[in-house]
Every structure is written in C-alpha cells, then in structure tokens.
Chains A and B, each alone.
Chain A
Amino acid sequence: MNKLRNIFLLIALISLSIIDLQFWDTAISNFLFWEFRFPRVVGAAITGIGLSFSGLLMQTLFRNSLAGPYLIGISPGATFGMALFIFFSSAFSFSFEISPLWGSTIGAFSALGLQLLINRGFEHTHRLLLTGLVLGFVFSAATELMQYFGNNEQLREFTFWGMGNFERIEIEHLLSISIPVITGIVLVYFFKHSLDCYLLGDDYAQASGVNPIKIKNLLIWTGAIIAGWLTAYAGPIGFIGLVGPHIAKRLYKTESHSKIMLPAILWGGILAVGADCIAHYSIPGILLPINPISSLIGAPILIISFIRKQNRN
C-alpha cells in the first residue's frame, strides 16, 4: 500500500514538473528551454526535496513536528550571510571572485559554528533551541541594521532574494545543488533505524545501542548544509521544510523514517514545483514571488491538519 502511495507521489511530482515545463509549448526555443525553464523546474524539485528533507531532520532532532532549520538559527544565519554579501561586497575588493551563493552558505555555517562554540557540542537539544532563538534574533537584528544603511539597489536586490524564486538556478547549478541533497539522503537512509530509536528518547536510544550524540551531529550537520546551500540558490523559502514531512507523517500515520522519508521529500518536491507553477502561470505574463505562495499553500495545510487531529482527539 505504501509503495503504491509512493509511486503515486512520484508520478504526481513528475506530472507537475511536466506541467511546469510545458512540453507541449512549441513556441519556446531550445535555448530558452535548456537555459532557463529546465533548470528552474528541476531546481525547484531538488530544492523542495532538500528543504523538506532538512525539515524532517530538524523535526527528528527536536522530536517536534513544528521544528525547522530556522529553529537553530540556520535560516536567519543564511539570510544574514546573504545580506552581508549584498550590502558589503562592494566595499571590499577581493583578489578572487566570490559568488553571492557563498554568502548564504557561510552565514548558515556561522550559525552552526556559534551553536557549537556556545553549547560546546550538540548534546542538549533544549540548549540548541534556546541558543537558536537568540541567534535568530541577533542575526535578524543585524540584517535589519544592514538594510537600514543600504542603498536602493542593494535593498532591491535583498528584497527580491528574500521573496525567493527558482529563476536564478542555472543548468550548471543543478549538479551542485543535487550533490548535498542526494549525499545527505543516502547518508541518513543508512541510519534510518537509529533515527527511529532516537525519536523514543536518548535513554532508549542508548539502551538500543544508538549513540544519541552521534545522531544529533548527523542531523544538525546534514540539515544545516542542505538548508544553507539551498537557501543561497532559491532564497529563504518558508513552510516547505515544515509542511512536507508533516503531510507525510499525517498520511502514513507513523514517524518511522523508513516509511516517511521518501514521501516527505516527494511532498517537498511537489509543494515547491506547485508553488513555482502558481508563481509563473496563475497570472499570465507576471511572475509572483515563491515565498508568499509557499506560505499560502503551507499554512492552510498545517491548520487543517491541526483541526483534524484535534477533532480526532
């Protein structure tokens, strides 16, 4: 039954991608298709898959379905890094060329580095949570301050990046965004049973021969690398990381990683490609920003899910 469901999800993702790619659109030239449309749609699918996977890892880490990369300061860190790049890159001249994509990734890693420095490891999740909240506030405040002093061009660049879109993903980027996502998924897949044990508590995990500290390190580093890297390319896209795993858990009525990992990432891909479709085709000729769309899709799904759970209880 689950296999059938997964196949259905895969077909849904591919169909949605075909709609987004519009294979029947003969007016589009080969150049436009391969340089712009194909990388955008495939990039959206990979980003959705990666964000949802990263969200799943964070939810496992905190044993909480509302967790996401923002909770330990990764997303605010990535945004801060991008802001730093946009507002200050012109003030310094480097002997080598720096891609703006590095700004966000370095920001995400800075958040992680600070977590590591302050908490001397990732052992205590409640301390990670508190530090993450504080770091989130600090990074947001620093970002706001930079915006205050930014000029019109910089503000425009940063605002558009913050709205999120998959337009900037080029065909050469597809490989570089796929590698951390695929590596992360494959790596975590080998630990799927250990993750299930970890979900039942540190003591239970230890009794089952699973080292919870090792698992926490795996979850944090994998989740942070994927979220930070993808945020650099697509901007801070909300709700996909939260909703993808949430839908999978609700539909499969389990938190077992061997069962929900695949549907969770497929749902992430479906949500991202769906949001991209809406952004491009809901108002002909006009491009809408992804972030508000993903939030408008994601928020009602979460609310309905909460209401249904409440009614069932």
Chain B
Amino acid sequence: MILFFGILGCQQKNQNQPSKKINWISADYAKLFKIGIIESDTLLKIFFVNGKEIATYHLGDNPNSFPDAIHINRKNKLAVSSSIFARFLTELDLGDSIVAIDNLNFLHSSIKSQLQNPIEIQPSGELQLETLINCKPDVFFVYTLNAEGIPAFTRLQKKNIPVIYIQNHQENHPLARAEWIKVFGLITDRLERANKIFKQVDSTYSSLLAKQNTQKSRTMINAPYSGNWMVPNRNNYFSKLMVDANLQCSWQEDKIKQEQLSYTISLESAVNYLLMSDIWINVGSYENIESLIKSESRIQHILQANTDLKIFQNNKQQEVSGANSYWDLGSTHPEILLKDLININLGKTDSLHFYIQIR
C-alpha cells in the first residue's frame, strides 16, 4: 500500500512539470546555449562542447514552475570571473551593476572607466569565495573548462547565488563567441538590446566578408615557449577568423587530424612554415623583434632568410598593467579583429586597431 502511494506520489510530482510545449530558439551561430520560451517563463540551457548539459536556468515570476532549473530572480548586482564578461556587460550599459570582478589588472581602461569600484575576487588567481559572498551578488558569471570545474561553485548555489556558466570560450566560430551577448541580455532583461548589438556585429562581419578580394597571404601564428610552438587547429575560432580574412594558415597544409583546439608542433616544422610565410602574427608576448630573438636566437637566421616576412603583434591596445582589449573587445566584436586581419592581408597597415607591425 505504501509502495503504491509512493509511486502515485512520484507520478503526481512529475505531473507538476508544465505540459505546455517549450518553444526552443536556437542561436544563429552559438552551439552551446539555447533559449526556450513558454508563456511568461523563459528557460536558458548551457552545454559543454560534447553536448552534455551544464545547467538550466529559469527566468519568470513563479520559481516553482520549473523546480529542476536554477531560478534567477534579482539581477541588480553582478559578479564576473573574466574581463570578457565585463566587456559584454558594459556593451549593455551594465558596467555600474558589476560589484565583483576577477582581477582589475586584467581590465582595460575602456571597461574600467564604466565600473564603480568593484571588489576583486581573484586577485592572485584563486577565487576568494568569502569575498565574493560578502559582495552579495545576485548572479555570478563564470566559465568552466570541464565538468570537474563545476563542484567549486556549488557552495555558491547553496548560498542562493546563481552561477551562470558562460562557455563562449568553447565556441569555435568568432560570431558564436560574440553571440553570447544574448545570454547576458537575457539574464539582465536586456535581450532586445543584446539582439540589436549582435545583429550589428553579424552584419558588419558579413559585409567585410563580401568585400574580400582574392589576395591570399601565407601566414604563421604564435611563437615558441620553451621549445614548444602551439598552433590552432581548423576548428579553432582563430583559424576561422584567419580563413575569413583570406590568410592562409601555413601549418594546416599538412592536414593533421587533431581533436584539441590547439596543438604543439616541433620548432623545426614551425620554422619551415615560417620560412614560406608572408605574414607572422600574434608573436607570443614579445613586444619587439629583439625580445623575440633573445628568447630564441635561431629566429634571427629565419628573419635573414625570409626578408619579406612581415610581423604583426596584437598589443597595440595593451596598457602598462598588461590589460589588452584584444582579448575582450576581440571576443565581443570579432568584426574589428577581422577588419584588422583583412587589412594585414592587403598591406593596409595604417588603420589597424589591435595590431602593430613590428617588422
């Protein structure tokens, strides 16, 4: 008898879930989030690259209508764990709502000027949970590399601080990364504005693609670290940006099958590609040729052998603190980055936004 009522109880509980059909709206480019609308309620689902769901969030008046989802009620005080998220929020004019941020040193002055003294919660890399909880944020925007990273935030959920996973770094298209502004817009009740911003980004990006000419420059990327040279694979968002800018990725000619978004090649292969390249971009953290040669003296011979090689570094917007808007503005506005890369390809180097020609 007890078992019967138990089973009946469970069935009744399931029946509490709304039976109305949810209208799921897929994003234009992003694959790791989707938004569902059901009458006055909105649902947001966030996924890992492998399709596994990370979390479902519910935005609506009645928290009980979706008991399995994380209910988001207030959104006046926001905490972020990355300067990229701060950039997304300032795009939506929500800079003054940010009460806590990972590290102010990583913040470009163009974002900093829009904030009102947020508290640092990761000044030395490690998240200071106590400081964060004392800030009493309404939501906390974080990123996680894998499922193992999630338990670190469960204590915050218990303190009624909803943790929103922003996985834009795992998207493999530049526009998909920028489209995450819709998630920030949805959470902060500014979806319409976010849609408008993204539409503008998308149309500018597409118009730049349409204006492309056929000039293709062979390009090499990155620099060695302790004898290791990392390169992005075909599915990496930066490879797609380069392809869109008609920059030929020299290292991808070997058609290496690689699941990782970036991988290490030998110095010998990297130098071989470099000798055949016209352009070399994103030269590690080196500010000039001298510091590059100091780190790897054999680069000098390559520069002597390939006298036409033009080198561009992405530190034009870098400030003394080390903050560089290339990383945040480049994520939210890939069209600016694309324009730079197209201009590098065409040799129009006077009006670059993120890049400086160092050779």
Contacts and interface: CB of A to CB of B under 8 A. Distances in A.
A280 B266 contact: yes
Interface of B: 124-126, 224-229, 254, 256, 258, 263-269, 271-272, 275, 284-285, 294, 296-298, 301, 305, 322
B226 A168 contact: yes
Nearest to A155: B125
A202 to B, nearest CB: 42
Contacts of B266: 36, 167, 280, 287
A182 B333 CA distance: 58
A300 interface: no
Contacts of A280: 266
Interface in A172-188: none
B226 A149 contact: no
A286 interface: yes
User: Interface residue tally of chain A, by bracket?
Assistant: 20 to 34
A75 to B, nearest CB: 17
A153 B298 contact: no
A151 interface: yes
16 contacts: A28-B268, A31-B275, A35-B301, A40-B268, A97-B294, A149-B124, A149-B125, A166-B227, A167-B268, A168-B227, A280-B266, A283-B256, A285-B256, A285-B265, A287-B266, A289-B264
Nearest to A233: B227
A289 B230 CA distance: 12
B251 to A, nearest CB: 8
Contacts of A286: 256, 258, 263-265
A28 B285 CA distance: 29
Contact of A165 (B227, B284, B285, B301): B227
A285 B224 CA distance: 16
A31 B268 contact: no
A155 B284 CA distance: 13
Interface stretch (A10-18, A53-61, A156-164): A156-164
A123 interface: no
B226 A160 contact: yes
A168 B225 CA distance: 10
Interface of A: 28-29, 31-32, 35-37, 40, 97, 148-149, 151, 153, 156-158, 160-161, 163, 165-168, 170, 235, 280, 283-289
A151 B225 contact: no
A153 B286 CA distance: 10
Contacts of B258: 286
Contacts of A153: 284-285
Given A167-B266, A168-B226, 20 more contacts: A28-B272, A29-B275, A31-B305, A32-B268, A32-B272, A36-B266, A36-B268, A36-B271, A40-B268, A149-B124, A149-B125, A151-B322, A153-B285, A161-B226, A165-B228, A168-B296, A170-B297, A284-B256, A285-B269, A287-B269
A25 B338 CA distance: 38
A168 B227 CA distance: 5
Contacts of A167: 224, 227-228, 266-268
B280 to A, nearest CB: 17
A149 B123 CA distance: 10
